[in-house]
A and B are shown apart, each in its own frame.
Chain A
Amino acid sequence: MQKIVLFLLSIGFTISSFAQDLDFVRIEEGTYTVGEEGAVLNPKRTVFVKEFNIATTELTNAEFLLFVEATGYRTTAERYGNAQVFEPGLEEFRWIQDSTAYWRFPNGVSRGGIVNKMDHPVTCISYRDAIAYCKWAEVRLPTFDEWEVAAKAGSTGKYFEGASEEKIEEYANIWHKEDHLKPDFSDGYMYTAPVKSFKANPWGLYDVLGNVFEFCEGRLPQDKGRKVAHARGGSWWCNRTSCAAFNTIFIGSVAPMASFSNLGFRVVRD
């Protein structure tokens, strides 16, 4: 009897949560646990968030193209030729500056474009570019707390239910080799994967860990008044032996004008 009741309850829970929109999940207003004990920059605590709707996927190249076509917007990388790209063979944490790289060629012209990758997350865009998109599309970036609440999907741990640092393959496009000296296709993708290629978290968010880091709104004490962009969730570049940032706790820091081929975003609608 108890199992039947729980099953019926879970059906009711699912319907009330996910029937709002095909592309967004509504997160109820409430008090949630975020952070982790011992994490100085993101300590375990309770936070109150108002209701918000978060996209089930990272923003794709196809969606970003609509924005560019409508506005003629030129990204930071296009204007300054300062994007950072990756190719196998680089030492840990090393990237290459490539003046040909921008969102249509996220790792530079010589490494191919996005023509057949319109369902991949847009990358090689800066925080400034993400904000410009949001303004045009009348959406916004999630706050630190909103992103983490949605990513945790009810868990109070470092990972959402079902995932762990050891058991991440089903949920996230990450780098599986110990270093970045040779290509890694062990999960099918060296760079980005099409959105929804991996299993969603329990609340229906895809690629919330891995694939691309997702820009969020928030400040850390170390910013000290400077404008610093922050992105979360880990990326295809991240492996267990470098940053292991594919979890719900890590908060990265990057210059607001920096464009990397592992940086993207997911939007929120109020």
Chain B
Amino acid sequence: MENKKKSLILFSEINFRQVGHLFTIAMRYLITVLISISAVAFSYAQDDLALYEPTKADYDYWEYRRKMTVPPYGLDKVKGLIKKIEVKSDDNDDMGLSALSTADFKSLTLREKFTYTMIHPEVYSQNCDIRIMLPNEEQKVFAYLLSTLNEQTWSQRQLVFLRENRDSIMSYIEESTLRSKRMGVNYKDVIDEINGWEMIPFIITYFENNKKDKDALTLLLLLMKKGEYEEFLKSISYRKLYGQSYNYETYIDYNKANEELILQRAKGYFKEKSAVRK
């Protein structure tokens, strides 16, 4: 159809003087011939369209952003329990999610529950969760994190568990991150979920040791947004990232100035929150 429309324009530009007052039926036959000719010509004209081929670096960094951290706490036991509840279909295809029984879930220790929640989200995530890939992501600080896991997310009971035990959860994340030297997207997501502003100094130190992980800056932005930190809310960065037309593709450029600004504001936010708590 696009070819047809293009041909219509060509036709009107070149031949309208000769066409004169043709009747509709006659026009259609003529159009068909011209469309066929121009369609061929147009298909060749399209060859010079810009094609963006994702580079290996694009894929690698995107994978890095979506990589999660597996907690070590009771891992073998938890994996064993998950294996028991997995449903396999005859054609070895997805048969849906399965969750531990209430009794089994309750029987886990706090640390084991944390491990289970981090590696086994119990419900599906929706079709438009954040999985978009953009070019040169390593040079961007995004407004949002990527969705945690493949087409899955935490159930209500898992969210309640995380929120009700936020102090313990924060200590596990710190301990595990120091151990693995990596803060996976699931950990960052939890910190945002439980509004773990107390972890800001830890996140800043983590970022300073892992400058590749720009999502640590995103996490700081999300915490300041969640806490409605006034200095951030009135900033140009806020308007650009979360203003009227933001969505999860929004980003600011990663550069020294933006990095310093985010870190400085996050420190200010932490100081303000800490003072209020005292």
Known: A28-B1, A31-B3, A156-B2. Contact between A8 and B27, CB under 8 A? yes
Q: Which B8-61 residues have C-beta < 8 A from chain A?
A: 8, 11-12, 16-17, 19-22, 24, 27-28, 31-32, 39, 42-43, 46-47, 49-54, 58-59
Known: A9-B27, A31-B3, A154-B1. Contact between A43 and B52, CB under 8 A? yes
B64 at interface by CB-CB < 8 Å: no
The smallest beta-carbon distance between A174 and chain B, in angstroms, is 12
B236 at interface by CB-CB < 8 Å: no
B182 at interface by CB-CB < 8 Å: no
A251 to B199, CA, bound (A): 35
Q: Is the CB of A253 within 8 A of B151?
A: yes
B95 at interface by CB-CB < 8 Å: yes
A80 to B96, CA, bound (A): 8
Of the residues B22, B49, B126, B133, contact of A95 by C-beta under 8 Å: B126
Interface 9-residue window, one of A112-120, A190-198, A221-229:
A221-229
Q: Is the CB of A30 within 8 A of B5?
A: no
The smallest beta-carbon distance between A258 and chain B, in angstroms, is 4
The smallest beta-carbon distance between A128 and chain B, in angstroms, is 9
Q: Is the CB of B49 within 8 A of A97?
A: no
A30 to B5, CA, bound (A): 12
Q: Is the CB of B52 within 8 A of A6?
A: no
Q: Is the CB of B128 within 8 A of A234?
A: yes
Interface centre among B11, B24, B94, B156 (most CB of A within 10 A): B94
Q: Which residues of A contact B261 (CB under 8 A)?
A: none
**Contact-residue size bin, chain B (C-beta under 8 Å from the other chain):** 35 or more
Q: Is the CB of A154 within 8 A of B94?
A: no
Q: Is the CB of B128 within 8 A of A242?
A: yes
Q: Is the CB of B128 within 8 A of A252?
A: yes
Known: A9-B8, A45-B49, A254-B124. Contact between A38 and B3, CB under 8 A? no
Of the residues A2, A11, A230, A244, contact of B24 by C-beta under 8 Å: A11
Q: Is the CB of B131 within 8 A of A12?
A: no
Q: Which A224-270 residues have C-beta < 8 A from chain B?
A: 226-228, 230-231, 234-235, 237-238, 240-245, 250, 252-258, 260, 262-263
Interface 9-residue window, one of A13-21, A62-70, A134-142:
A13-21
B246 at interface by CB-CB < 8 Å: yes
A27 at interface by CB-CB < 8 Å: yes
Q: Which residues of A contact B2 (CB under 8 A)?
A: 30, 32-33, 149, 152, 154-156
Q: Is the CB of A84 within 8 A of B247?
A: no
Q: Which residues of B contact A27 (CB under 8 A)?
A: 1
B165 at interface by CB-CB < 8 Å: no
Known: A30-B3, A153-B1. Contact between A254 and B151, CB under 8 A? yes
A103 to B56, CA, bound (A): 42
Chain B 120-141 near chain A by CB (<8 Å), digits 1 or 0? 0001111111111111000000
25 contacts between A and B (CB under 8 A): A4-B21, A5-B19, A12-B28, A16-B32, A28-B4, A30-B4, A33-B49, A38-B135, A40-B52, A40-B132, A40-B133, A43-B52, A76-B96, A93-B153, A149-B2, A230-B127, A235-B127, A240-B247, A242-B247, A242-B248, A250-B132, A253-B129, A255-B124, A262-B126, A263-B127
Binding site for B on A (CB under 8 A): 1-2, 4-6, 8-13, 15-17, 27-28, 30-33, 37-41, 43-46, 48, 76, 80, 82, 84, 93, 95-97, 149, 152-156, 165, 203, 213, 221-222, 226-228, 230-231, 234-235, 237-238, 240-245, 250, 252-258, 260, 262-263
